[in-house]
């Protein structure tokens, strides 16, 4: 086992990995930019290394600086988390060349699955169902011909990258040329690669992904599915496991397809095979699901899988990277209960979800049975514009889906954040709908049903709480607590002599 690991990331995922390291008796090294010098992940680690300016290209995306930080701190391995360089094959190869261990798949596996066009060809060869479409097209006439053969609507998307960048839905031929130009420009700006592919667009499809896990001894299994159809601009908002749509037979078929996809690239460590699923096609005799892409890293939504399987995925990432065998066969693995995750963002739904920045005047996390919060923030921290506005992942677990939904709504109500605007009311409204309760939410559902959603006006007690929090922090420190207050959550307990 490793003695020391450098975490090449920030925020909640860095802290999540550090917690796993602590439990395994491994020392941790944090890295931080100028903007993160006081961040929670820096304080949580055993030691920390400054790696550059706030801009990601000059810090968290600087592979040479990260590797040198690992060497200088005498770390033996690097965990990339998710985002940044986690799916960069060149970084994985450079880590290994520096005689360090990359906690993730091999550079070859990352490279094979990192290109959407190439990976789709590989999946066809492996017998994995793929969305009807074409790769390797260049001219407008080629795209026009392909779109006519596939049938509108079609989806134009970048061959490299992800996160909804370089992606356009085209409903008719008159929209095609402009969509190609916009997607190509965005793909070049985002990934330095303007290549595109075209696919049939499934308007009422669901996004279902399968967690896979493999070791370096040839063992490869799946850890079941996550339903990720609640999306805004191709970005997931709410995830859950199990999916309310899958039958045991379909779950087994999708799991086998995911394992076949991973085996085609000799995959080891944690990975996720993403599928697009159309229930109507499944009812008509078609398989109903198609390979979308593979994420060769730990997913943001991995906690829901941990809760329903009872496995710590980060523990096993580290243990497998250290050479251990994954001791479970497919028949050993089962789903129990139901888990839901909501991504709490500092963004304002009333302004088109623009990021909200500022000091967190209050940040009181919900507590109780079946509630988990993964976060990289605390009260008093500054939310900047430099990085993703994810404040926390709120995850709940219960014996049934109905009980999990109730628990999540209560947890959202109990999560107190003041100082920035969040999307919590928005997610609460989604959970309240009959479509969500019945599992009928497709990937276009949010855009169709919540495009004009209005932010509810805050109640008086919330405004008073925000004002009190502001008063507490204006002085630069919290006053001594009132001795005769027994309720630890009473706002007066934190205002001390101000009460007089």
Q: How many residues does the chain have?
A: 500
Q: Helix 302-309 to helix 313-321 angle, to the nearest 10 degrees?
A: 100
Q: How far, in Å, CA of 228 to CA of 236, rounded?
A: 6
**Burial of residue 382 (number of CB atoms within 10 Å: 0-12, 13-18, 19+):** middle
Catalytic residue among 168, 195, 297, 407: 297
Alpha-helix runs per DSSP H in 4-52:
11-23, 40-44
Q: How far, in Å, CA of 166 to CA of 191, rounded?
A: 9
The residues pairing with 79 across neighbouring beta strands, listed in sequence order, are 7
Tally of CB atoms within 10 A around 248 = 8
Give kind and range of the element (H or E) at residue 31.
Answer: strand 27-33
Walk across the sheet containing 133-134 and list its strands: 133-134, 196-200, 154-158, 167-170
Give the Å distances, CA to CA, from 382 to 39, 61, 185, 374, 418. Answer: 9, 22, 33, 17, 12
Token representation of residue 36: 């993160």
Give kind and range of the element (H or E) at residue 469.
Answer: helix 460-474
Tally of CB atoms within 10 A around 251 = 19
Answer yes or no: are the C-beta atoms of 224 and 242 closer than 8 Å: yes
Q: How far, in Å, CA of 377 to CA of 262, rounded?
A: 35
DSSP annotation of 331:
G
Residue 327 C-alpha from the chain's centroid: 27
* Residue spans of beta strands (DSSP E) within 284-413: 289-295, 338-345, 347-348, 354-355, 358-359, 362-364, 371-375, 382-383, 390-398
Answer yes or no: are the C-beta atoms of 202 and 276 closer than 8 Å: yes
Give the Å distances, CA to CA, from 86 to 13, 80, 102, 110. Answer: 12, 5, 10, 9
Answer yes or no: are the C-beta atoms of 239 and 340 closer than 8 Å: yes
Of 79, 87, 266, 232, the residue nearest 160 (C-alpha): 87
Catalytic residue status for 297? yes
Residue given tokens 């040198």 in the structure block: 68
Answer yes or no: are the C-beta atoms of 258 and 470 closer than 8 Å: no
Q: How far, in Å, CA of 289 to CA of 42, rounded?
A: 42
Active-site residue list: 297
């Amino acid at each position: 086992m490793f003695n020391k690991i450098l975490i090449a990331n920030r925020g909640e995922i860095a802290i999540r990995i550090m917690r796993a390291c602590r439990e395994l008796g491994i020392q941790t090294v944090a890295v931080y930019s100028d903007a993160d010098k006081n961040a929670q992940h820096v304080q949580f680690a055993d030691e920390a290394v400054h790696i550059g300016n706030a801009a990601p290209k000059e810090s968290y995306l600087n592979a040479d600086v990260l590797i040198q930080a690992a060497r200088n701190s005498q770390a033996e391995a690097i965990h990339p988390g998710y985002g940044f360089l986690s799916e960069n094959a060149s970084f994985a190869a450079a880590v290994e060349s520096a005689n360090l261990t990359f906690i993730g798949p091999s550079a070859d596996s990352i490279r094979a699955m990192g290109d959407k066009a190439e990976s789709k060809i590989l999946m066809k060869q492996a017998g994995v169902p793929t969305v009807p479409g074409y790769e390797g097209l260049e001219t407008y006439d080629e795209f026009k011909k392909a779109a006519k053969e596939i049938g509108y609507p079609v989806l134009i998307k970048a061959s490299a990258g992800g996160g909804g960048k370089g992606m356009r839905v085209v409903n008719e031929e008159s929209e095609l040329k402009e969509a190609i130009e916009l997607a190509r420009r965005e793909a070049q700006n985002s990934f330095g690669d303007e290549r595109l592919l075209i696919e049939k667009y499934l308007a009422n499809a669901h996004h279902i992904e399968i967690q896979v896990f493999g070791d370096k001894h040839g063992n490869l299994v799946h850890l079941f599915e996550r339903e990720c159809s609640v999306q805004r601009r191709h970005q997931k908002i709410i995830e859950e496991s199990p999916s309310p749509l899958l039958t045991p037979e379909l779950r087994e078929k999708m799991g086998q397809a995911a394992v076949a996809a991973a085996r085609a690239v000799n995959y080891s460590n944690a990975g996720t095979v993403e599928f697009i699923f159309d229930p109507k096609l499944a009812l008509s005799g078609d398989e109903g699901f198609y390979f979308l892409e593979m994420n060769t890293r730990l997913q943001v939504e991995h906690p829901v899988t941990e809760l329903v399987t009872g496995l710590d995925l980060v523990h096993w990432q580290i243990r497998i990277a250290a050479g251990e065998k994954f001791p479970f066969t497919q028949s050993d693995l089962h789903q129990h209960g139901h888990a839901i995750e909501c991504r709490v963002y500092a963004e304002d739904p009333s302004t088109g979800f623009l990021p909200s920045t500022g000091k967190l005047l209050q940040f009181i996390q919900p507590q109780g049975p079946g509630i988990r919060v993964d976060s990289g923030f605390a009260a008093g921290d500054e939310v900047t514009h430099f990085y993703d506005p994810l404040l926390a992942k709120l995850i709940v677990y219960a014996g049934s889906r109905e009980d999990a939904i109730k628990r999540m709504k209560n947890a959202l109500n109990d999560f107190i954040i003041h100082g920035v605007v969040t999307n919590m009311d928005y997610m609460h409204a989604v959970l309240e709908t009959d479509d969500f309760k019945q599992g009928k939410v497709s990937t276009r559902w949010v855009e169709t049903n919540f495009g004009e959603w209005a932010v509810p006006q805050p109640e008086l007690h919330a405004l008073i709480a925000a004002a009190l929090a502001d008063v507490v922090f204006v002085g630069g420190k919290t006053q001594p607590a009132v001795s005769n207050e027994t309720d630890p959550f009473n706002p007066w307990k934190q205002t001390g002599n101000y009460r007089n």
